[in-house]
């Protein structure tokens, strides 16, 4: 248990260490609007909600607040808070419930296959009008981009497996799995590992000596039962039964935890963020012809002339520069098709993975030419910032984060439904 607590402290501490301030203020939009769809911000792996982390904003930093900036400039904006360690399927189900309201339904077939509870938390709904034909823009960082893509796919196409299971077992079916819903007008992905990140391979190597995933999940179990901890950081893994039941002894609780299928499941962020996991997702999650897709890439490395490896630039946040970027910048794996094209990175994700899904996917990726197109990935280019600088967690003096997000909001408002 002590090991789990230490991992939790390290996990949270990393974000505090890198959480410096970013600029704020008001900037007027110039382009005429073609839609008034609200914006929702969707965080990535290990992300959190607005009420967590003692006010430290995932989207903006300690004194910055991207949601507030956009609202101040007339762009109605909300922030989602889904499972920071959960699979994209589970996160998409949670995002749906948070948007329209109701109890999270992970799907009867999915729950049975993966061995966790079918239902989760209940939410009042940020935008219940979406049920009546409203539209919404999703701006997603890192894993959030995978989650957003899956949400759009489920909304439009539903799940044949869930429909068949519900009919066969005579159980209810969530509207999410019915299909036919087209309320996402655009998806913007920022530094998203559409084809996975080889950083997972570093974690796999580490696990030969120290089971990191188990340690983090143990930390989540401890945190779920500690008073006030969820107010600081909520792991949101209720579906796996990580919460101690009323009257349950600690001995029984930890024995039950040890038998949980979560330890070996692929229904986790770790699998989805791997190269094979991302390819599996790409094979069935396709770009919708009814949705605009924008992809922003990030890189903060340079190529070494002698080795051909990529090294962190001066200014990359310390953790990524010391621990992650050197591995990403040198890792090759012929069996996975990971060659020198994968070496450029932003400290967390390989840049080649960011402009849209390619492995296992037939989605089209086109360079942005001044006109945003539906049904394809509009490649918006590569920014010289690291994985944390692009959301303001680690400021870069040469990157005007306020102008970046306000300009993006202006572009989204100019899209014709």
> What CATH number has the domain bearing residue 123?
3.40.50.1820
Residue 315 marked as a ligand binder? yes
Flag whether pLDDT at 349 surpasses 80: yes
Residue 389 marked as a ligand binder? yes
Lowest pLDDT segment from 88-92, 210-214, 239-243: 210-214
Share of the chain above pLDDT 70, in %: 85
Residue 20, domain member (yes or no): no
The helix-helix angle for 199-206 and 212-225 (nearest 10°) equals: 90
Residue 339 marked as a ligand binder? no
Mean pLDDT of the chain: 88
Residue 265, domain member (yes or no): no
Q: Ramachandran region of residue 180, left (φ > 0), alpha (ψ -120 to 50) or beta?
A: left
Residue 105 marked as a ligand binder? no
pLDDT of residue 256: 79
The predicted-structure confidence for 32-81, as pLDDT tens digits, reads as follows 899 999 999 999 999 999 999 988 999 998 558 999 999 999 999 999 99
* 351 Cβ neighbours under 8 A, 6+ residues apart: 297, 298, 299, 344, 345, 382
pLDDT of residue 18: 35
Q: Which of 346, 363, 379, 386 is catalytic?
A: 346
Q: Find the mean pLDDT for residues 333-359.
A: 98
Flag whether pLDDT at 244 surpasses 50: yes
| Catalytic-residue membership of 346 | yes
Helices and strands in the chain: count of H runs, count of E runs: 15, 11
Contact 268, 87 (CB under 8 A): yes
Q: Find the mean pLDDT for residues 193-199.
A: 97
Q: How far is CA 55 from the centre of its chain?
A: 20
Residue 188, domain member (yes or no): yes
Structural domain total, the chain = 1
pLDDT of residue 288: 98
Pairing status of strand 301-303 against strand 292-298: unpaired
Residue 129, domain member (yes or no): yes
Residue 162, domain member (yes or no): yes
Task: Please report where in the chains the tokens 């935008």 appear, as a residue.
Answer: 127
Q: Alpha-carbon distance 287 to 377, whole Å?
A: 8
Contact 168, 326 (CB under 8 A): no
| Catalytic-residue membership of 211 | no
Flag whether pLDDT at 361 surpasses 80: yes
Nearest Cα neighbor of 300 from 287, 275, 317, 319 is: 317
Between these two residues, 20 and 295, which has the higher pLDDT value?
A: 295
pLDDT of residue 221: 64
pLDDT of residue 158: 98
Question: In sequence order, what are the beta bridge partners of 140?
Answer: 42, 189
The predicted-structure confidence for 384-412, as pLDDT tens digits, reads as follows 999 999 999 988 888 999 999 999 999 99
Length of the chain: 417
The predicted-structure confidence for 146-175, as pLDDT tens digits, reads as follows 999 999 999 999 999 999 999 999 999 999
Flag whether pLDDT at 21 surpasses 80: no
| Catalytic-residue membership of 398 | no
Judged by DSSP in three states, 104 sits in: strand
Residue 394 marked as a ligand binder? yes
Judged by DSSP in three states, 10 sits in: helix
* Cα 229 to Cα 5, 222, 232, 269, 385, distances in angstroms: 11, 9, 5, 22, 32
Residue 272 marked as a ligand binder? no
Share of the chain above pLDDT 90, in %: 75
Model pTM score: 0.90
Q: Which of 87, 142, 153, 274 is catalytic?
A: 142
Instruction: Give 296-362 as a DSSP string.
Output: EEE--EEE-TTT--EEEPTTS-HHIIIIIHHHHTT--BGGGTB-GGG--BSSSSBGGGSSS--TT--
Q: Which of 43, 141, 194, 387 is catalytic?
A: 387
Flag whether pLDDT at 220 surpasses 50: yes
pLDDT of residue 2: 38
Quick one: 336 exposed, middle or buried, by C-beta within 10 A (0-12, 13-18, 19+)?
A: middle
* 256 Cβ neighbours under 8 A, 6+ residues apart: 241, 248
Task: Please report where in the chains the tokens 């609780």 appear, as a residue.
Answer: 253
Question: In sequence order, what are the beta bridge partners of 374?
Answer: 292
The predicted-structure confidence for 246-259, as pLDDT tens digits, reads as follows 888 867 877 777 77
End-to-end CA distance of the chain: 52
Flag whether pLDDT at 218 surpasses 90: no
pLDDT of residue 332: 97
Residue 311, domain member (yes or no): no
Q: Find the mean pLDDT for residues 302-329.
A: 96
> Domain range for residue 107?
39-198+233-244+276-299+349-414
Residue 410 marked as a ligand binder? no
Flag whether pLDDT at 29 surpasses 70: no
pLDDT of residue 257: 74
pLDDT of residue 225: 65
Residue 226, domain member (yes or no): no
């Amino acid at each position: 248990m002590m090991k789990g607590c230490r991992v939790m402290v390290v996990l949270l501490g990393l974000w505090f260490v890198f959480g410096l301030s970013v600029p704020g203020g008001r900037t007027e939009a110039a382009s005429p609007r073609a839609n008034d769809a609200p914006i929702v911000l969707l965080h990535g792996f290990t992300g959190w909600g607005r009420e967590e982390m003692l006010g430290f904003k995932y989207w903006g930093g300690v004194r910055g607040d991207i949601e507030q900036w956009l609202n101040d400039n007339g762009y109605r904006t909300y922030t989602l808070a889904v499972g920071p360690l959960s699979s994209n399927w589970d996160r998409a189900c949670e995002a749906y419930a948070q948007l329209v309201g109701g109890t999270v339904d992970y799907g009867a077939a999915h729950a049975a296959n993966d061995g966790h509870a079918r239902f989760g938390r209940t939410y009042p709904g940020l935008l219940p009008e979406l049920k009546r034909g409203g539209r919404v823009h999703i701006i997603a960082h890192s894993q959030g981009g995978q989650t957003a893509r899956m949400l759009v796919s489920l909304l439009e196409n539903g799940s044949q497996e869930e429909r068949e299971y519900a009919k066969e077992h005579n159980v209810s079916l969530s509207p999410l799995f019915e299909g036919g819903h087209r309320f996402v007008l655009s998806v913007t992905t920022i530094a998203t590992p559409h084809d996975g990140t080889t950083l997972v391979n570093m974690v796999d190597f580490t696990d030969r000596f120290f089971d990191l995933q188990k340690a983090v999940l143990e930390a989540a179990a401890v945190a779920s039962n500690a008073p006030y901890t969820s107010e600081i950081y909520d792991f949101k893994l209720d579906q796996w039964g990580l919460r101690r039941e009323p009257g349950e002894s600690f001995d029984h609780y930890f024995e039950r935890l040890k038998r949980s299928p979560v330890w070996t499941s692929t229904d986790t962020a770790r699998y989805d963020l791997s190269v094979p996991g991302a390819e599996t997702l790409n094979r069935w999650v396709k770009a919708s012809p009814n949705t605009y897709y924008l992809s922003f890439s990030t890189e903060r490395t340079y190529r070494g002339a002698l080795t051909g490896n990529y090294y962190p630039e001066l200014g990359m946040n310390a953790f990524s520069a010391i621990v992650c970027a050197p591995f990403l910048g040198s890792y090759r794996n012929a069996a996975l098709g990971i060659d020198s094209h994968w070496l450029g990175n932003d400290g967390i994700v390989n840049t080649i993975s960011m402009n849209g899904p390619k492995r296992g996917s037939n989605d089209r990726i086109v360079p942005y030419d001044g006109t945003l197109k539906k049904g394809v990935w509009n490649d918006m280019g590569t920014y010289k910032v690291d994985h944390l600088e692009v959301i303001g967690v680690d400021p870069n003096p040469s990157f005007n984060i306020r102008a970046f997000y306000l300009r993006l909001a202006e572009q989204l408002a100019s899209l014709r439904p």
